[in-house]
Chain A
Amino acid sequence: MMDAVIVIFSAVFVNNILLARYLGNCPFCGVSKNLSSAWGMGIAVIFVLTIATAATWIIHHFILDPLHLSYLQTIVFILVIATLVQLVEFFLQKNAAALFQSLGIYLPLITTNCAVLGVAILAIKNSYDFIMSVVFAAASAAGFLLALLCMAGIRERLETVVLPRPFRGTAITLIIAGIMALAFFGFSGMDATLSSLAHH
């Protein structure tokens, strides 16, 4: 139980997927213009990331590993993720029209979101068990949502500010992300402290 708490804390704050692990930065710059699209993208990522990590974990441990095919990890994982995104899209369209309306346009973008493949590979690399992998994936995605919402909030206010022309758009977004990363730096090492407290 305590281990799960530490993994969650570490994935959301200490090793935030966007600000410390550098994964998923394209949507971070692309859909952070306003809060409503940030919510849509964030929820869609939580959804897909969790399912994709669960699916890739099962495939790795029950197919690739027993058959000594782990060298095909990259190619199999990306295909699984692409297929999964399509399936989720079909499923939502058929069964949850309202949800599809709000998330629909973000789903195709997620296939090339390196956060999904990145977290799936990291879960295998860290040799988490199944439950821990799912917890890790959900927490990483929650960290993604958190950072995306912060950024969208800042950028909404930035609309009313006069900026030097060259800095408008992606340039200022990256610089703000840098300052946010600096703030998140304050959490570094706290997961190690927590885990040593938990074990004593």
Chain B
Amino acid sequence: MNDAVKMFIVLAGVTTTCGLLLAGAHDLTRERIVTQQLRYIKGPAIRTVLSDATNDPLLDRRVVAVSGKEVTLFFGKKGGRVTSIALETAAQGYAGPVHIISGFDPESGTCTAIAVALSQETPGIGSRITGDAFTGSFTGLDPATAAALRKDGGTIDGVGGATVSSRAVCSAVAAAQKLFKEIRPSISEVERENAHQ
């Protein structure tokens, strides 16, 4: 056989085999990797938001499609009943995107709690948005009032000296409120599916 052809066959064979093996390995580990990433990166924030849940919300997650986008919902349950549903949104902060987990009551749509999942805000200034004093002020926000700072005509008191970061949190929560409104009709469906399992 021609030398060049042989060379090509060996190279192509090795590459194809390796590619196929990796595709298989990827399929086997994909689910677990997604769960692990959630657990270690966003897990703490999700658990804070769904603090009274007795299940593991990371495993009780559903992906739903809303106006062409995929949104992952985390279900917090207590005694078999869904008490709160959390989802993630992001908004541009001072030093990059600020990722927020917001929890909502499935019945009323009221915001139950929020937590910062990921932010690179300046330590000591913008990073104060993670404090309970600030995040707690979103609890009980009803679905009719979009989250906004008082100086923007809303109801939330921003963190002093960190307007940009506080505003980012508000717009992320407002986006979550809007998203949740769109998702709510399909949630009852998801819940019923859950009940069957």
A192 CB–B CB distance under 8 Å: yes
How distant is B13 from chain A, measured CB to nearest CB, in Å? 15
B15-49 CB mask vs A (1 if < 8 Å, else 0) is: 00011001000100000000000000000000000
A196 CB–B CB distance under 8 Å: yes
A72 near B19: Cβ-Cβ < 8 Å:
yes
Q: Which of A75, A195, A196 lies in contact with B18, CB distance below 8 A?
A: A75
B134 CB–A CB distance under 8 Å: no
B22 near A72: Cβ-Cβ < 8 Å:
yes
Which positions 69-110 of chain A face chain B at CB distance < 8 Å? 71-72, 75
Cα A194 to Cα B141 in complex, Å, equals 38
B95 near A75: Cβ-Cβ < 8 Å:
no
Instruction: Give the chain B neighbours of A75 by CB distance below 8 A.
Output: 18, 22
How distant is A27 from chain B, measured CB to nearest CB, in Å? 28
Closest to B19 in A: A72
B122 CB–A CB distance under 8 Å: yes
A44-73 CB mask vs B (1 if < 8 Å, else 0) is: 000000000000000000000000000110
Given contacts A192-B122, A196-B122, contact A71 B95 (CB under 8 A): no
A165 CB–B CB distance under 8 Å: no
Cα A15 to Cα B95 in complex, Å, equals 18
Instruction: Give the chain A neighbours of B95 by CB distance below 8 A.
Output: 195
Instruction: Give the chain B neighbours of A199 by CB distance below 8 A.
Output: 94
How distant is B194 from chain A, measured CB to nearest CB, in Å? 28
Cα A71 to Cα B19 in complex, Å, equals 11
Instruction: Give the chain B neighbours of A196 by CB distance below 8 A.
Output: 122
How distant is A78 from chain B, measured CB to nearest CB, in Å? 12
Q: Which of B18, B26, B94 lies in contact with A71, CB distance below 8 A?
A: B26
| A71, A75, A195, A199: residue with the most chain B Cβ atoms closer than 10 Å | A71
A71 near B122: Cβ-Cβ < 8 Å:
no
Cα A195 to Cα B26 in complex, Å, equals 39
Cα A71 to Cα B22 in complex, Å, equals 9
Instruction: Give the chain A neighbours of B19 by CB distance below 8 A.
Output: 72
Which positions 125-176 of chain A face chain B at CB distance < 8 Å? none
Cα A196 to Cα B127 in complex, Å, equals 14
Cα A75 to Cα B94 in complex, Å, equals 35
Instruction: Give the chain B neighbours of A195 by CB distance below 8 A.
Output: 95
Cα A170 to Cα B196 in complex, Å, equals 67
Cα A71 to Cα B18 in complex, Å, equals 13
* Leading 3 A-B pairs by shortest Cβ distance: A71-B26, A196-B122, A72-B22
Between A and B, 10 residue pairs with Cβ closer than 8 Å are A71-B22, A71-B26, A72-B19, A72-B22, A75-B18, A75-B22, A192-B122, A195-B95, A196-B122, A199-B94
Interface, chain B (partner A; CB < 8 A): 18-19, 22, 26, 94-95, 122
Interface, chain A (partner B; CB < 8 A): 71-72, 75, 192, 195-196, 199
> Given contacts A75-B22, A196-B122, could you give 8 more A-B pairs where the C-beta distance is less than 8 Å?
A71-B22, A71-B26, A72-B19, A72-B22, A75-B18, A192-B122, A195-B95, A199-B94
